[in-house]
Structure 1
Amino acid sequence: MNDTLYKPQNQGIQIQLRRYRDSLAISGGMVIIMSIWDIIKLFIVFFLGEDTIAKHIEIAMNQGGIMTIGTEFEKFVKIISWIVVLLILFLFCAIAFLYHLYIGLNAYRVGRQTAKKCNRLYLVLSFLSAIFTGMLIISNIFYFFNSTDSSGNIDLAFFIMEVTAFVNYILILYAAYKIRKLEKIEWGTR
């Protein structure tokens, strides 16, 4: 009866491969979730922060001399300014989401072994994202210690999320590296 059970040759390697593939798939899903957080954070900063979009539009209109033209033209310029700024913001959010979606879906597919071809571009993008996130963490540390405003809790929440994103990108890179190494070992013993 025991002869019919599947017993892999390298059971320890299989267990480690499964662990790292699960880690890669979970980290890929987290990249997608974190991109949604980045979009929410962007809207929080632009609409609820100190330098809101409305404030910047008012400053631009005051410096451009729009106030002297007339109230009906001023309202029209304000509406057009809001439309342009929101279109740029939505375009940036869509690009950022698609970027993270590409990394996350590829990591998930490799982790679940559903990728049709071996695509390593997501690893390069993960590495670049880890570097960028690391630089954001360093700048947030400097800003956090030199800050005099009262939004310390919000800055701390942003910092914690950036550290989480950084760790997530490092986990993707590490899991992909370990999977590659273990697959080479597994193929070498067959």
Structure 2
Amino acid sequence: MIDITELKEVERKYRTLSEGLEQKIAERTKKLEESERKSKELLEALPIGIILSSPEGKSLECNSQAYKILGYKSKNQFLKVHVLDHYHDPNDRKRFIRLHDRGIVKDFEVQLKREDGSVFWASINSKTQDLENSIIYVNSFRDITARKVVEQELKESEEKWRALSENSPAHVLLLDREHKIIFINRTVPDLSKEEVIG
């Protein structure tokens, strides 16, 4: 004969353990959801585009900056497009993959295309991650078009200045703050730049 009191006691302990376990699961789930919410808020607050993609070029996830920089109206619209379609020159994607195969991609400057076909300069950083037994690329990028325009204007200005100063019939010399000659054109007879500069 089975003592019913013992069975009821076992059942009570089981119920207590089960309720405790359910409570712990609920607490952990709540913490995970809170952590995920904070991570998403952080990604959305960043002023750069973040894209998670497969090595084959499928976009898996992104923040709003990513699809906005690339000219898309929605995340869903953006995620349907293959990564290769964002490259102005498909060979740049191949260079990106080769760099990635060697490790972390840092400050990879490349021209990308927006949805409307307009081209802009971007700087990309990327790292490989193992996520749930799948390899993904965690990519961050920013629009550097304004910087590239300024760099090009500066280069052109320097080239013009150099051409003018080198070809001027007048003596042209440039001094630093300590009044040392740092540039002289070739109009000074019998002196080489090496003799005068410094």
TM-score using structure 2 length: 0.28
Higher strand share: 2
Q: Which has the higher contact order (CA 8 A, sep 6+)?
A: 1
Higher helix share: 1
TM-score using structure 1 length: 0.29
Whichever of the two has the greater Rg, that structure is: 2
